[in-house]
Amino acid sequence: MALSLYVDTTRWRAHQKSVIDQFPSLVPVCKGNGYGFGHERLAEEASRFGSDMLAVGTTYEAARIKDWFSGDLLVLTPFRRGEEPVPLPDRVIRSVSSVDGVHALVGARVVIECMSSMKRHGVLEQDLGQLTAAIEDVRLEGFALHLPLDRTDGSDAVEEVISWMDRLRAARLPLHTMFVSHLKAQELGRLQQQFPQTRFRARIGTRLWLGDHDSTEYRGSVLDVTHVSKGDRFGYRQQKAASDGWLVVVAGGTSHGVGLEAPKALHGVMPRAKGVARAGLATVNRNLSPFVWAGKQRWFAEPPHMQVSILFVPSDAQEPRVGDELVAHLRHTTTQFDRLVDR
Protein backbone atom coordinates (compact mmCIF):
# COMPACT_ATOMS: atom_id res chain seq x y z
CA MET A 1 0.00 0.00 0.00
CA ALA A 2 1.77 3.14 -1.21
CA LEU A 3 1.71 6.57 -2.76
CA SER A 4 2.60 5.65 -6.32
CA LEU A 5 3.72 7.64 -9.32
CA TYR A 6 2.42 5.99 -12.49
CA VAL A 7 4.27 6.88 -15.69
CA ASP A 8 3.01 6.25 -19.22
CA THR A 9 6.60 5.63 -20.26
CA THR A 10 6.04 5.54 -24.01
CA ARG A 11 4.15 8.84 -23.96
CA TRP A 12 6.60 10.44 -21.51
CA ARG A 13 9.59 9.55 -23.68
CA ALA A 14 7.81 10.71 -26.83
CA HIS A 15 7.43 14.11 -25.17
CA GLN A 16 11.11 14.11 -24.21
CA LYS A 17 12.01 13.48 -27.85
CA SER A 18 9.77 16.32 -29.05
CA VAL A 19 11.61 18.74 -26.74
CA ILE A 20 15.04 17.43 -27.71
CA ASP A 21 14.17 17.81 -31.40
CA GLN A 22 13.25 21.47 -30.80
CA PHE A 23 16.41 22.28 -28.84
CA PRO A 24 19.63 20.95 -30.37
CA SER A 25 22.45 20.66 -27.79
CA LEU A 26 19.89 20.62 -24.96
CA VAL A 27 21.26 20.21 -21.43
CA PRO A 28 18.69 18.34 -19.29
CA VAL A 29 18.30 19.64 -15.74
CA CYS A 30 17.98 17.27 -12.79
CA LYS A 31 17.79 19.14 -9.49
CA GLY A 32 15.84 19.22 -6.24
CA ASN A 33 13.86 16.01 -5.96
CA GLY A 34 14.48 15.17 -9.62
CA TYR A 35 11.22 16.87 -10.68
CA GLY A 36 9.33 14.19 -8.79
CA PHE A 37 11.00 11.26 -10.57
CA GLY A 38 14.20 11.08 -8.52
CA HIS A 39 17.78 11.81 -9.53
CA GLU A 40 18.61 8.24 -10.49
CA ARG A 41 15.68 7.91 -12.88
CA LEU A 42 16.37 11.19 -14.66
CA ALA A 43 20.08 10.39 -14.92
CA GLU A 44 19.13 7.10 -16.58
CA GLU A 45 16.75 8.89 -18.97
CA ALA A 46 19.42 11.45 -19.91
CA SER A 47 21.86 8.61 -20.60
CA ARG A 48 19.25 6.80 -22.66
CA PHE A 49 18.69 9.69 -25.04
CA GLY A 50 22.44 10.32 -25.33
CA SER A 51 22.99 13.59 -23.49
CA ASP A 52 26.66 14.44 -22.94
CA MET A 53 25.85 16.76 -20.00
CA LEU A 54 23.41 16.86 -17.09
CA ALA A 55 22.77 19.98 -15.00
CA VAL A 56 22.24 19.58 -11.25
CA GLY A 57 21.41 22.05 -8.53
CA THR A 58 24.21 21.62 -5.99
CA THR A 59 27.56 19.92 -5.44
CA TYR A 60 25.79 17.49 -3.10
CA GLU A 61 23.46 16.46 -5.92
CA ALA A 62 26.45 16.06 -8.23
CA ALA A 63 28.09 13.75 -5.68
CA ARG A 64 24.95 11.59 -5.60
CA ILE A 65 24.37 11.50 -9.34
CA LYS A 66 27.97 10.96 -10.50
CA ASP A 67 27.62 7.18 -10.25
CA TRP A 68 24.42 7.22 -12.32
CA PHE A 69 25.54 9.49 -15.16
CA SER A 70 28.89 9.16 -16.92
CA GLY A 71 28.88 12.47 -18.83
CA ASP A 72 29.68 15.98 -17.66
CA LEU A 73 27.79 17.37 -14.66
CA LEU A 74 27.06 21.11 -14.57
CA VAL A 75 26.42 22.47 -11.07
CA LEU A 76 23.98 25.39 -11.35
CA THR A 77 24.48 26.93 -7.89
CA PRO A 78 27.41 29.35 -8.19
CA PHE A 79 30.67 28.65 -6.38
CA ARG A 80 31.43 30.73 -3.29
CA ARG A 81 34.68 30.93 -1.34
CA GLY A 82 34.39 29.11 1.96
CA GLU A 83 31.78 26.60 0.81
CA GLU A 84 32.09 23.07 2.14
CA PRO A 85 34.36 21.08 -0.20
CA VAL A 86 32.68 18.08 -1.79
CA PRO A 87 34.88 15.46 -3.52
CA LEU A 88 33.90 15.47 -7.20
CA PRO A 89 35.40 14.10 -10.41
CA ASP A 90 37.00 16.31 -13.06
CA ARG A 91 33.92 15.98 -15.29
CA VAL A 92 32.01 18.27 -12.92
CA ILE A 93 31.72 21.86 -14.17
CA ARG A 94 31.16 24.69 -11.68
CA SER A 95 29.02 27.74 -12.31
CA VAL A 96 30.69 30.99 -11.23
CA SER A 97 29.01 34.38 -10.82
CA SER A 98 31.90 36.61 -9.76
CA VAL A 99 35.47 37.45 -10.76
CA ASP A 100 36.57 36.36 -7.27
CA GLY A 101 34.97 32.97 -7.86
CA VAL A 102 36.93 32.52 -11.09
CA HIS A 103 40.19 33.39 -9.32
CA ALA A 104 39.41 30.82 -6.60
CA LEU A 105 38.89 27.93 -9.04
CA VAL A 106 42.31 27.69 -10.66
CA GLY A 107 42.43 24.75 -13.06
CA ALA A 108 38.71 24.01 -12.76
CA ARG A 109 36.14 23.73 -15.51
CA VAL A 110 33.78 26.68 -15.18
CA VAL A 111 30.71 28.31 -16.72
CA ILE A 112 30.47 32.03 -15.99
CA GLU A 113 26.96 33.26 -15.23
CA CYS A 114 26.10 36.78 -16.42
CA MET A 115 23.66 38.99 -14.52
CA SER A 116 20.35 38.86 -16.37
CA SER A 117 17.12 40.79 -15.77
CA MET A 118 16.33 38.11 -13.17
CA LYS A 119 18.85 39.97 -10.97
CA ARG A 120 19.61 36.80 -9.05
CA HIS A 121 23.34 36.41 -9.50
CA GLY A 122 25.99 36.88 -12.18
CA VAL A 123 28.94 38.98 -13.27
CA LEU A 124 28.17 42.58 -14.20
CA GLU A 125 29.19 44.46 -17.33
CA GLN A 126 31.83 46.37 -15.36
CA ASP A 127 33.40 43.04 -14.31
CA LEU A 128 34.17 41.91 -17.85
CA GLY A 129 37.51 43.71 -18.11
CA GLN A 130 38.81 41.77 -15.10
CA LEU A 131 37.61 38.45 -16.53
CA THR A 132 40.02 38.53 -19.48
CA ALA A 133 42.99 37.81 -17.23
CA ALA A 134 41.09 35.65 -14.73
CA ILE A 135 39.93 33.06 -17.28
CA GLU A 136 43.52 32.24 -18.21
CA ASP A 137 43.75 30.15 -15.02
CA VAL A 138 40.55 28.12 -15.56
CA ARG A 139 39.08 25.91 -18.26
CA LEU A 140 36.24 28.04 -19.55
CA GLU A 141 33.29 25.98 -20.78
CA GLY A 142 31.21 29.01 -21.72
CA PHE A 143 28.98 31.79 -20.42
CA ALA A 144 25.38 31.49 -19.20
CA LEU A 145 22.22 33.54 -18.87
CA HIS A 146 19.30 32.53 -16.66
CA LEU A 147 16.33 34.48 -18.01
CA PRO A 148 12.94 35.25 -16.39
CA LEU A 149 9.85 33.24 -17.24
CA ASP A 150 7.54 36.23 -17.70
CA ARG A 151 8.27 39.59 -19.30
CA THR A 152 5.51 41.88 -18.12
CA ASP A 153 7.38 44.92 -19.46
CA GLY A 154 7.19 43.63 -23.03
CA SER A 155 10.95 43.25 -23.39
CA ASP A 156 12.48 40.71 -25.77
CA ALA A 157 14.44 37.73 -24.39
CA VAL A 158 16.48 37.45 -27.58
CA GLU A 159 17.50 41.09 -27.39
CA GLU A 160 18.67 40.57 -23.82
CA VAL A 161 20.91 37.70 -24.90
CA ILE A 162 22.20 39.68 -27.89
CA SER A 163 23.10 42.62 -25.66
CA TRP A 164 25.20 40.32 -23.48
CA MET A 165 26.80 38.69 -26.52
CA ASP A 166 27.80 42.16 -27.74
CA ARG A 167 29.28 43.05 -24.33
CA LEU A 168 31.26 39.83 -24.14
CA ARG A 169 32.53 40.28 -27.68
CA ALA A 170 33.53 43.89 -26.97
CA ALA A 171 35.52 42.64 -23.96
CA ARG A 172 37.26 40.13 -26.28
CA LEU A 173 35.96 37.19 -24.28
CA PRO A 174 35.46 33.83 -26.03
CA LEU A 175 31.93 33.16 -27.29
CA HIS A 176 32.20 29.50 -28.29
CA THR A 177 29.36 28.37 -25.97
CA MET A 178 26.41 30.16 -24.35
CA PHE A 179 24.13 28.33 -21.91
CA VAL A 180 20.61 29.78 -21.72
CA SER A 181 17.46 29.10 -19.71
CA HIS A 182 13.79 29.86 -20.47
CA LEU A 183 13.99 30.57 -24.18
CA LYS A 184 11.46 29.35 -26.75
CA ALA A 185 12.65 27.18 -29.63
CA GLN A 186 12.11 29.96 -32.18
CA GLU A 187 14.03 32.41 -29.97
CA LEU A 188 16.94 30.01 -29.78
CA GLY A 189 16.80 29.65 -33.56
CA ARG A 190 17.04 33.41 -34.01
CA LEU A 191 20.13 33.53 -31.83
CA GLN A 192 21.81 30.63 -33.58
CA GLN A 193 21.19 32.30 -36.93
CA GLN A 194 22.68 35.58 -35.75
CA PHE A 195 25.69 33.98 -34.02
CA PRO A 196 26.55 30.88 -36.11
CA GLN A 197 29.97 30.52 -34.47
CA THR A 198 28.46 30.16 -31.00
CA ARG A 199 26.92 26.95 -29.68
CA PHE A 200 23.76 27.77 -27.75
CA ARG A 201 22.82 25.16 -25.15
CA ALA A 202 19.36 25.39 -23.58
CA ARG A 203 19.20 24.18 -19.98
CA ILE A 204 15.73 22.65 -19.62
CA GLY A 205 14.06 20.84 -16.72
CA THR A 206 10.33 21.48 -16.27
CA ARG A 207 9.47 21.55 -19.97
CA LEU A 208 11.43 18.35 -20.62
CA TRP A 209 10.25 16.19 -17.72
CA LEU A 210 6.84 17.69 -16.84
CA GLY A 211 5.65 19.19 -20.13
CA ASP A 212 3.07 16.45 -20.78
CA HIS A 213 0.88 16.39 -17.67
CA ASP A 214 -1.19 13.42 -18.86
CA SER A 215 1.83 11.11 -19.03
CA THR A 216 2.06 10.86 -15.23
CA GLU A 217 -0.35 10.34 -12.35
CA TYR A 218 -0.03 10.05 -8.58
CA ARG A 219 -2.30 7.63 -6.73
CA GLY A 220 -2.65 6.83 -3.05
CA SER A 221 -3.78 3.43 -1.80
CA VAL A 222 -6.71 3.21 0.63
CA LEU A 223 -5.45 1.59 3.83
CA ASP A 224 -8.55 1.72 6.04
CA VAL A 225 -12.19 2.83 5.89
CA THR A 226 -14.25 3.55 9.03
CA HIS A 227 -17.93 4.53 9.08
CA VAL A 228 -18.85 7.51 11.27
CA SER A 229 -22.19 9.07 12.16
CA LYS A 230 -22.86 12.75 12.57
CA GLY A 231 -21.43 13.92 15.91
CA ASP A 232 -18.94 11.03 16.31
CA ARG A 233 -15.54 12.16 17.55
CA PHE A 234 -12.40 11.09 15.73
CA GLY A 235 -8.71 11.76 15.15
CA TYR A 236 -5.89 13.33 17.15
CA ARG A 237 -7.97 16.36 18.10
CA GLN A 238 -11.26 14.47 18.60
CA GLN A 239 -13.26 16.64 16.25
CA LYS A 240 -16.92 15.84 15.57
CA ALA A 241 -18.07 14.42 12.23
CA ALA A 242 -20.24 17.03 10.51
CA SER A 243 -22.42 14.34 8.89
CA ASP A 244 -22.64 10.62 8.25
CA GLY A 245 -19.91 9.17 6.07
CA TRP A 246 -16.54 7.44 6.07
CA LEU A 247 -13.08 8.26 7.36
CA VAL A 248 -10.72 7.09 4.65
CA VAL A 249 -7.06 6.51 5.49
CA VAL A 250 -5.00 6.88 2.31
CA ALA A 251 -1.26 6.49 1.71
CA GLY A 252 0.47 9.85 1.36
CA GLY A 253 1.28 12.28 4.15
CA THR A 254 3.56 15.16 4.99
CA SER A 255 6.72 13.08 4.43
CA HIS A 256 5.55 12.63 0.83
CA GLY A 257 4.78 16.34 0.45
CA VAL A 258 1.00 15.96 0.81
CA GLY A 259 -0.44 19.11 2.36
CA LEU A 260 2.61 21.15 1.34
CA GLU A 261 2.27 23.81 -1.33
CA ALA A 262 4.79 26.17 -2.87
CA PRO A 263 3.73 29.84 -3.00
CA LYS A 264 2.18 30.90 -6.30
CA ALA A 265 2.15 34.21 -8.13
CA LEU A 266 -1.54 35.04 -8.62
CA HIS A 267 -2.66 37.09 -11.62
CA GLY A 268 -6.21 38.32 -12.07
CA VAL A 269 -9.27 38.75 -9.88
CA MET A 270 -10.58 35.17 -9.98
CA PRO A 271 -7.39 33.40 -8.81
CA ARG A 272 -7.05 35.93 -5.99
CA ALA A 273 -10.68 35.43 -4.96
CA LYS A 274 -10.18 31.67 -4.85
CA GLY A 275 -7.09 32.16 -2.70
CA VAL A 276 -9.04 34.27 -0.24
CA ALA A 277 -11.82 31.66 -0.15
CA ARG A 278 -9.35 28.85 0.59
CA ALA A 279 -7.76 30.87 3.37
CA GLY A 280 -11.19 31.54 4.89
CA LEU A 281 -12.13 27.87 4.87
CA ALA A 282 -8.80 26.95 6.48
CA THR A 283 -9.62 29.12 9.49
CA VAL A 284 -12.53 26.78 10.25
CA ASN A 285 -10.45 23.63 9.62
CA ARG A 286 -11.83 23.02 6.13
CA ASN A 287 -8.92 22.06 3.89
CA LEU A 288 -9.34 20.44 0.50
CA SER A 289 -7.09 17.43 -0.02
CA PRO A 290 -5.36 16.58 -3.32
CA PHE A 291 -7.13 13.19 -3.39
CA VAL A 292 -10.04 12.50 -5.73
CA TRP A 293 -12.80 9.97 -5.13
CA ALA A 294 -15.96 9.45 -7.20
CA GLY A 295 -15.10 12.41 -9.37
CA LYS A 296 -14.63 14.93 -6.57
CA GLN A 297 -11.64 16.28 -4.69
CA ARG A 298 -12.24 15.25 -1.07
CA TRP A 299 -11.74 17.23 2.14
CA PHE A 300 -9.14 16.35 4.74
CA ALA A 301 -10.86 15.08 7.87
CA GLU A 302 -7.91 16.51 9.80
CA PRO A 303 -4.41 17.74 8.83
CA PRO A 304 -2.37 15.04 7.06
CA HIS A 305 -0.20 12.77 9.20
CA MET A 306 3.40 11.92 8.43
CA GLN A 307 2.75 9.01 6.05
CA VAL A 308 -1.02 8.94 5.62
CA SER A 309 -3.91 11.32 5.18
CA ILE A 310 -7.41 10.92 6.59
CA LEU A 311 -10.19 12.07 4.31
CA PHE A 312 -13.90 12.48 4.91
CA VAL A 313 -16.19 10.96 2.27
CA PRO A 314 -19.89 11.75 2.85
CA SER A 315 -22.50 9.01 2.84
CA ASP A 316 -24.02 10.17 -0.46
CA ALA A 317 -20.86 9.02 -2.27
CA GLN A 318 -19.76 5.46 -3.01
CA GLU A 319 -17.93 3.84 -0.11
CA PRO A 320 -14.19 3.40 -0.82
CA ARG A 321 -12.67 -0.03 -0.23
CA VAL A 322 -9.31 -1.01 1.18
CA GLY A 323 -6.97 -1.44 -1.78
CA ASP A 324 -8.67 1.17 -3.96
CA GLU A 325 -6.38 3.87 -5.32
CA LEU A 326 -7.28 7.56 -5.24
CA VAL A 327 -5.85 9.86 -7.88
CA ALA A 328 -3.90 12.69 -6.20
CA HIS A 329 -3.24 16.10 -7.75
CA LEU A 330 0.25 16.73 -6.40
CA ARG A 331 3.06 19.02 -7.47
CA HIS A 332 5.97 16.95 -8.77
CA THR A 333 8.67 19.23 -7.38
CA THR A 334 7.40 18.92 -3.79
CA THR A 335 6.36 15.24 -3.78
CA GLN A 336 8.23 12.08 -2.78
CA PHE A 337 6.66 8.82 -3.94
CA ASP A 338 6.95 5.37 -2.37
CA ARG A 339 7.19 3.64 -5.72
CA LEU A 340 7.34 4.50 -9.41
CA VAL A 341 5.36 2.28 -11.78
CA ASP A 342 6.11 2.27 -15.52
CA ARG A 343 3.08 1.47 -17.63
DSSP assignment of 5-71 equals EEE-HHHHHHHHHHHHHHSTT-EEB--TTTTTT-HHHHHHHHHHTT-SEEEESSHHHHHHHTTT--S
Domain-by-domain residue ranges, the chain?
Answer: 8-210, 214-342
CA distance 308 to 311: 10
Under a CB-based contact definition with an 8 Å cutoff, are residues 204 and 28 in contact?
Answer: yes
CATH homologous superfamily of domain 8-210? Alanine racemase (3.20.20.10)
What sign results for the dihedral spanned by CA atoms 69, 78, 262, 155? negative
CATH topology for 214-342 is: Lyase, Ornithine Decarboxylase; Chain A, domain 1 (2.40.37)
Angle at 330 between CA 336 and CA 17, to 5 degrees: 85
The DSSP code sequence of 79-148 is P-TTPPP----TTEEEEE-SHHHHHHSTT-EEEEEE--TT-SS-B-GGGHHHHHHHGGGSEEEEEEEE--
In order along its 343 residues, the chain shows pLDDT tens digits of 899 999 999 999 999 999 999 999 999 999 999 999 999 999 999 999 999 999 999 999 999 999 999 999 999 999 999 999 999 999 999 999 999 999 999 999 999 999 999 999 999 999 999 999 999 999 999 999 999 999 989 899 999 999 999 999 999 999 999 999 999 999 999 999 999 999 999 999 999 999 999 999 999 999 999 999 999 999 998 999 999 999 999 999 999 999 876 565 555 555 544 443 343 333 335 689 999 999 999 999 999 999 999 999 999 999 999 999 999 999 999 999 999 999 9
